[in-house]
Structure 1
Amino acid sequence: MSTQTLEHDHVFLGVDHERNERRVWFVIVLTAVMMVVEISAGTIFGSMALVADGWHMSTHASALLISAVAYLYARKEARNPRFTFGTGKLGDLAGFASAIILAMIALLMAWESVLRIVNPVPISFAQAIGVAVIGLAVNLVSAWLLNDDNHHHGRGHHHRHGDHAHADHGDHAHARGTTDNNMRAAYTHVLADALTSVLAIAALSFGSLYGWLWLDPLMGIAGGLIIAQWSWGLMKSSGRVLLDAIADGEELPGEIRKVIETGSDRITDLHVWQVGPGHHAAIVAVATSEPREPAFYKAKLEALYELSHVTVEVTQRQAA
């Protein structure tokens, strides 16, 4: 077998990578347009509420830009040999960065709300409710665009390059453990903004009816706590991938052992880690009294579609 036949690429991007990239850019454009409209209208009509929400939209667009640039760079550099395991984990790095930004937003929301409780300010209820409703509408559209449950996943195919088991992941791979943390980060940003709008509408509505000025900042604290919880979940999920840790309940290591450990074959060392959404790599050390070529064991692992890159080491041991 020639060297060229054995060579293979390390493109471990998610099956919906390019589609997700387009969706994030579209939401950025939608957000940017809304931002310009609000700032312009606020300036023309002298509405500080509109101007403030417009600038808030700008921070929202900046956070989404992290996800978009990560998708773009990962796709452009997918075959760059400097990335020895591809660029599939770049989305997890972007997701982790976004989680930190979300945590900062939650902290600022809570702090500003505390200041508002201590020093209440007059609220133009009708105007503020109108801004919150417009913001909610934009965020709901954005959330729908970024929610994977609303879109059909394309089918993939399973193939091998030389002696390496390699899988392109489709519907089967999406069955478990294939979260795209970059898309999750973008969706969480939009969802956090939508939650803020919903809480604001509720607080302002009751405030206008009963004069409860304290309800608006109280809702801000509640929203900050919820967003902080989402941020922590995203941080744990993306951080786990960055540290090559296996998620609780991940069944792939056990499945590898079940497939390999037959007869006298025993796994003495096993490393499994995620290299991209729906893609895992594995290093398997096998000790056996009846050694076979590594290709034999890799062929047995082909049924595990989550595995995209496999290295097998075989050591002969004395029969018991």
Structure 2
Amino acid sequence: MTDTPSRPFGHEHVFLGTQHARNERRTWAVIALTTVMMVAEIVAGSVYGSMALVADGWHMATHAAALLIAALAYVFSRRHARNRRFTFGTGKLGDLAGFASAIVLALIALLIGWESLLRFSAPVTINFNQAIVVAVIGLTVNLVCAWLLRDDDHRHGSSHAHHDHPHENAAHQHQHTDERHRDNNLRAAYLHVLADALTSVLAIFALVAGSVFGWLWLDPAIGILGSLVIARWSWGLMRDAGAVLVDYLPEVEELPEQIRSAIEVGGDEIYDLHVWQVGPGHHGAIVSLRSASPRAPTYYRELLSHLPELSHLTFEVEQA
């Protein structure tokens, strides 16, 4: 696919997140850290006989793959942001990448669970001290990666909170404003790292308990628990990213009602309304309304100017 020149007139359809460049750089940095630690944990777990450590290493492998998908999505969406073949821009590519990484993670969760079940019937000797050291190092790397991938978009998004709502609804409004600005691509990478940190904690617990009490069965049991946690997280990401891809708005989404309350004044009536997300912090809307005194589209745009997340508006006005 080749890029095409931007439109010589009209407005641009660049609907990337406000922190797109920063998120792209940090994702590549985390890929490097994750890959190094992934190899170390898989090798150490195999040498020292720890299924929990091997599971943690393969979990890191899924993160490395998912992070690579996220990084490539950032690169592609940036390079093709002004490609006219993408009708509403490339803002949704991050959600597509998040959905893909969720599927990969679900498959690996099944593999980890299966390998852990096999260890119950064929236990192996574990070198606890070395395995614990490697697991602690892995946890440290995970925490560093989580810090690098923290999402600052929520703080940027909160600056757009609307002050014309009642004070008691401020927290509720802030929550949904944050959701509108969520970068599911970054969220996929961030939750991958957090899930891996959780697996590292479980692995350390299993190794310490095994070394003290001799509970070899606890190691594969923790592997199964980790696979269930990964699978559950995978489903959550798949659900949320998929909702954006099919233009589904949660029932708690306030944006449609905010549009109606702003437009339906002076007898004007909205008879058809479509709202969807076109990128992190960006929404599009098609508003069809009837009015006894139709105005120019610029008038209705001004009525919605207090909703900065509405990045693409189309109006159809009919005489009532």
TM-score (norm 1): 0.85
SS in 1 for 2:266: coil
Give the counterpart letter for 1:83 in structure 2: F
Equivalent residue in structure 1 for 2:290, among 282, 287, 292: 287
2:106 is aligned with 1:92? no
Check whether the contact 1:13–1:277 (CA below 8 A) recurs between aligned residues. yes
- Match for residue 13 of structure 1? 16
Equivalent residue in structure 1 for 2:198, among 195, 209, 224: 195
- Cα 1:302–1:30 change in 2 (3 A) is same
SS in 2 for 1:304: coil
How big is the alpha-carbon RMSD for the aligned residues of Structure 1 and Structure 2? 3.0
How far apart, in 2, do the equivalents of 1:229 and 1:307 lie?
Answer: 32
Q: CA deviation at 1:155?
A: 9.7
TM-score (norm 2): 0.85
How far apart, in 2, do the equivalents of 1:79 and 1:241 lie?
Answer: 21
2:300 is aligned with 1:297? yes
How far apart, in 2, do the equivalents of 1:306 and 1:176 lie?
Answer: 11
2:126 is aligned with 1:123? yes
- Match for residue 166 of structure 1? none
Q: CA deviation at 1:151?
A: 9.3
SS in 2 for 1:148: coil
Give the counterpart letter for 2:304 in structure 1: L
- Match for residue 179 of structure 1? 182
Give the count of matched residue pairs: 299
Give the counterpart letter for 1:182 in structure 2: N
Check whether the contact 1:15–1:154 (CA below 8 A) recurs between aligned residues. no
Q: CA deviation at 1:183?
A: 0.4
Output aligned runs, 1:214-233, within 5 Å.
Answer: 214-233=217-236
Check whether the contact 2:286–2:314 (CA below 8 A) recurs between aligned residues. yes
- Match for residue 74 of structure 1? 77
**1:145-164 residue CA offsets vs partner (Å, 9 max, x unmatched):** 1111599649999xxxxxxx
Q: CA deviation at 1:35?
A: 4.7
Q: Could you tell me the percent identity over the aligned residues?
A: 63
Q: CA deviation at 1:105?
A: 2.0
**1:136-187 residue CA offsets vs partner (Å, 9 max, x unmatched):** 1111110111111599649999xxxxxxxxxxxxx99954422110001101
How far apart, in 1, do the equivalents of 2:234 and 2:62 lie?
Answer: 16
Q: CA deviation at 1:5?
A: 9.3
Q: Which moved more, 1:56-65 or 1:257-266?
A: 56-65
Check whether the contact 1:16–1:154 (CA below 8 A) recurs between aligned residues. no
- Match for residue 258 of structure 2? 255
How far apart, in 2, do the equivalents of 1:109 and 1:98 lie?
Answer: 16
Check whether the contact 1:77–1:87 (CA below 8 A) recurs between aligned residues. yes
SS in 1 for 2:305: helix
How far apart, in 1, do the equivalents of 2:235 and 2:66 lie?
Answer: 17
Check whether the contact 2:154–2:182 (CA below 8 A) recurs between aligned residues. no
Give the counterpart letter for 1:145 in structure 2: L
SS in 2 for 1:254: helix
Provide structure 1 residue ranges, at least 5 long, that are not aligned to the other structure: 158-170
- Cα 1:258–1:268 change in 2 (3 A) is same
2:209 is aligned with 1:206? yes
Check whether the contact 2:268–2:291 (CA below 8 A) recurs between aligned residues. yes
- Cα 1:279–1:149 change in 2 (3 A) is closer
SS in 1 for 2:304: helix
SS in 1 for 2:224: helix
How far apart, in 1, do the equivalents of 2:247 and 2:132 lie?
Answer: 46
**1:170-228 residue CA offsets vs partner (Å, 9 max, x unmatched):** x9995442211000110111112111111011011101111111111111111111221
Q: Which moved more, 1:87-96 or 1:98-107?
A: 98-107
- Cα 1:120–1:47 change in 2 (3 A) is closer
**1:278-308 residue CA offsets vs partner (Å, 9 max, x unmatched):** 0000000011121112221112111111100
Output aligned runs, 1:27-176, within 5 Å.
Answer: 27-35=30-38, 57-148=60-151, 153=156, 175-176=178-179
Give the counterpart letter for 2:106 in structure 1: A
- Cα 1:246–1:182 change in 2 (3 A) is same
